[in-house]
Amino acid sequence: MSAVAFAMHPLRVESVAWASERRDVMSGFFAVWTIWAYVEAAEAKARNGKRSLWLAASLTAFLVSLACKATGMCLPVVLSVLDFYPLRRLSWSRAGVASGRAGWVWLEKFPFWLAGVAGAGTALYGQRVAGALTAIETWTACDRLAFACFGVVFYVRKTIAPFGLSPLYEIAPDFSPLQLRFVASAAAAIGLTVAVLRWSRRWPALPAAWLSYLVLLAPVSGLAQAAGKWQPIATATCRA
């Protein structure tokens, strides 16, 4: 069902229709395998299964995903989120995060974190060498935060109502983070986060899903501005 939604949704038309964007599909495919193998490894311990083999399979899939596209660099954070929910290998208490058992949970993900950091560094270096990484003097931290909040809300909105799409959106010459669209996006992003926290006890899947969404969106959210005057979000920028 998820594959059908991915193939049919207008937001994914570039990944599905363009041969040059097959890296999105391949990276996503191996990212899913990374998560699946990691969950199997976590459950194999209780079943006395071959846990190390599942972990190795998960790490291998993660490396292939990074080789296809570096946007999967934040996947180790998602695996850590899964350890809190639904795997419940970690808890938010001090003992649940820093106990001996928790130490092994964190340690087993060290290769994933190492690969993720290496992937992030390689991507940033490649953008810099290509001249596609915009300096902080061009877009300030406040500007980048406005881009990020806009993208967070944009994807939710366009997933529900995918109208008025364009393959690329230009940042308006009169851009300001205080413009209504950016202020409203920031307020909506904060409001959604507060709502998720408010209902976290009743539906613990909500904060896990919301945090995973924010983390996976981070590399293309505009926090690390790239491509000169173009907002790097694939279908989410200032004119939308």
Contacts of 44 (CB under 8 A, 6+ apart): 50, 51, 54
40 inside domain:
yes
Q: Is 226 helix (H, G, I), strand (E, B) or coil?
A: strand
Look at residue 234 in the predicted model and tell me its pLDDT.
37
Give me the residues paired with residue 226 across strands: 133
Domain boundary among 77, 102, 129: 129
Q: Are residues 8 and 111 in the same domain?
A: yes
CB 217 within 8 A of CB 223: no
202 inside domain:
yes
Distance CA 125, CA 72 (A): 16
Q: Are residues 113 and 183 in the same domain?
A: no
Q: Which of 132, 177, 172 is nearest to 150 (CA)?
A: 177
96: containing domain? 2-129
What is the domain count for the chain? 2
| Mean pLDDT score across all residues of the chain | 82
This prediction's pTM: 0.81
239 inside domain:
no
Look at residue 114 in the predicted model and tell me its pLDDT.
95
CB 33 within 8 A of CB 20: no
236 inside domain:
no
Look at residue 212 in the predicted model and tell me its pLDDT.
93
Tally of residues, the chain: 240
How many CB atoms lie under 10 A from the CB of residue 223?
Answer: 16
Domain boundary among 81, 101, 129: 129
232 inside domain:
no
Q: Are residues 102 and 149 in the same domain?
A: no
Q: Are residues 151 and 212 in the same domain?
A: yes
Identity of residue 53 = L
Phi and psi of 216, rounded to 5°? -70, -25
Q: Are residues 103 and 206 in the same domain?
A: no
Run of H or E residues at 72: none
Cis amide leading into 111 (omega within 30): no
Q: Are residues 7 and 88 in the same domain?
A: yes
Question: Environment class of residue 135 by beta-carbon count within 10 Å: exposed (0-12), middle (13-18) or buried (19+)?
Answer: exposed
Q: Are residues 28 and 108 in the same domain?
A: yes
Look at residue 41 in the predicted model and tell me its pLDDT.
92
Q: Are residues 107 and 67 in the same domain?
A: yes
CA-atom Rg of the chain in angstroms: 19
Distance CA 230, CA 19 (A): 22
Q: Are residues 182 and 98 in the same domain?
A: no
Q: Are residues 78 and 6 in the same domain?
A: yes
Look at residue 4 in the predicted model and tell me its pLDDT.
82
Q: Are residues 201 and 106 in the same domain?
A: no
For residue 3 the two structure tokens come to 């594959």
Contacts of 99 (CB under 8 A, 6+ apart): none
The CA-atom distances, in angstroms, between 150 and each of 215, 216, 217 are 15, 15, 12
Look at residue 24 in the predicted model and tell me its pLDDT.
87
106 inside domain:
yes
Q: Are residues 101 and 49 in the same domain?
A: yes
Q: Is the dihedral of CA 67, 71, 73, 77 positive or negative?
A: negative
225 inside domain:
no
Which residue ranges of the chain lie beneath pLDDT 50?
226-240
Look at residue 99 in the predicted model and tell me its pLDDT.
63
